[in-house]
Structure 1
Amino acid sequence: MKIKKILFTFLLACFVLIGCKSEAKKEILPVNKQNVSLAISGMTCQIGCARTIQSKLSKKEGVIDAKVIFTDSIANIEFDANTTSKEDLASFVSGIAGGELYKASIASKE
């Protein structure tokens, strides 16, 4: 009886291990780096506003690098276009702090 239990446990473990290896693999796209500058209104200070926005942008999926320049009221963002878009980033910034403090728009190229 013990041998049957051991054999059953061994077979069950083998089936579990084999079944776990057959997961579907995701297709990984190459990074499509793009840059955008966002004009941000509503920032009142360097530390409380600009750094908060920069920190939140840096943690957003698809953002490679983010720099918020308080004196110019602008955010320069490098992002993966396969993951996010310019419009999504502007909407994300406008939604920080409940959407009441900051308004972001895509800055025109000069």
Structure 2
Amino acid sequence: MKTLKNILAIALISVSIIACKSDKEPEVKTVETTTEINTNAAKKLDPNATYAKAEFGIEGMTCAMGCAKTIEKKIAKMDGVKSAKVDFEKELAMVEYDEAMVTPKTLEEAVAKAGDTYKVKDMHTVKDFSSEKHECSADCANKTEAEKAACKAKCANKTEAEKMACAEDCKKDCCAKKA
């Protein structure tokens, strides 16, 4: 019985060794892949298109790296958008876009899709982008000059790291992703 077990074990090992060595050359397969670059430089922009520049305020942002950058990327990825810049400190978005492909309404929808709390205000087309902060919001209209100055002073004393950080009690999507 013991001899039979040994013969079976040797036969099993021999079959497995022979079966593994039947392929002397490894099989080489060539697979074609396509690479797609998704950057603003790779976008096909029409050189004959009429480009407009729009500026608008964005309410509801709590941090520069989360909220402002999320909105900026969402707008920049839109077809027909040549450039997009969102300035957190000024609560201002500056977008250059192809008028045939993008409308102010679609820009507003893109901001809304970036997060429920973001609201577009005071959208208008301009010849050149301004560097002034829009002070047209309803909150600002009801504040006294002293309250406006206190708010500006509070922001001016923050370090760059504090400006980029999300508020501790922030429950917005852009800050929740970082936690």
Q: Greater CA radius of gyration, 1 or 2? A: 2
Report how far residue 96 of structure 1 moved: 1.4
Match status 1:50 vs 2:75: no
> Which TM-score applies when normalising by structure 1?
0.65
Aligned to 1:89: 107
The answer for the alignment partner of 1:59 in structure 2 is: 77
Aligned to 1:37: 55
TM, length-normalised to structure 2: 0.41
SS of 2:107's partner is: helix
Name the count of aligned residue pairs: 81
Match of 2:157 in 1: none
Distance 1:106-1:60 versus aligned 2 partners, 3 A rule = farther
C-alpha distance in structure 1 between counterparts of 2:68 and 2:47, whole Å: 32
- How far apart are residue 62 of structure 1 and its match? 1.1
CA distance in 1, matches of 2:64, 2:78: 20
Q: Shift in Å at residue 56 of structure 1?
A: 1.0
Check conservation: 2:71, 2:114, Cα contact below 8 A.
yes
Quick one: structure 1 residues 80 and 106, their matched pair in 2 at CA, closer, same or farther if it must change by over 3 Å?
farther
Instruction: Assess if the C-alpha contact under 8 Å between 1:91 and 1:104 holds in 2.
Output: no
Stretches of structure 1 that go unaligned for 5 or more consecutive residues are 1-27
The correspondence for 2:119, drawn from 98, 103, 110, is 103
Identity over aligned residues, as a percent?
31
Shift in Å, 1:29 = 8.8
| 4+ residue segments displaced more than 2 Å | 105-110
Give the alignment's Cα RMSD to 1 decimal.
2.1
Q: Is the 8 A contact 1:90 1:105 kept in 2?
A: no
Q: Deviations over 1:75-106 (max 9, x none)?
A: 00000001011121112212213xx1211134
Give CA deviations for 1:9-33 in whole Å, capped at 9, x if unaligned: xxxxxxxxxxxxxxxxxxx793110
CA contact (8 A) 2:83 2:97 kept: yes
Q: In the alignment, is the contact (CA less than 8 A) between 1:36 and 1:106 conserved in 2?
A: no
- Counterpart position of 1:70: 88
Whole-angstrom distance in 2 between the partners of 1:94 and 1:53: 9
Q: Which structure 2 segments of 5+ residues have no match?
A: 1-45, 127-133, 135-179
Confirm or deny: 8 A CA contact 2:104 2:123 kept in the other structure.
no
Determine which structure has the larger strand proportion and give its number: 1
CA contact (8 A) 1:41 1:102 kept: yes
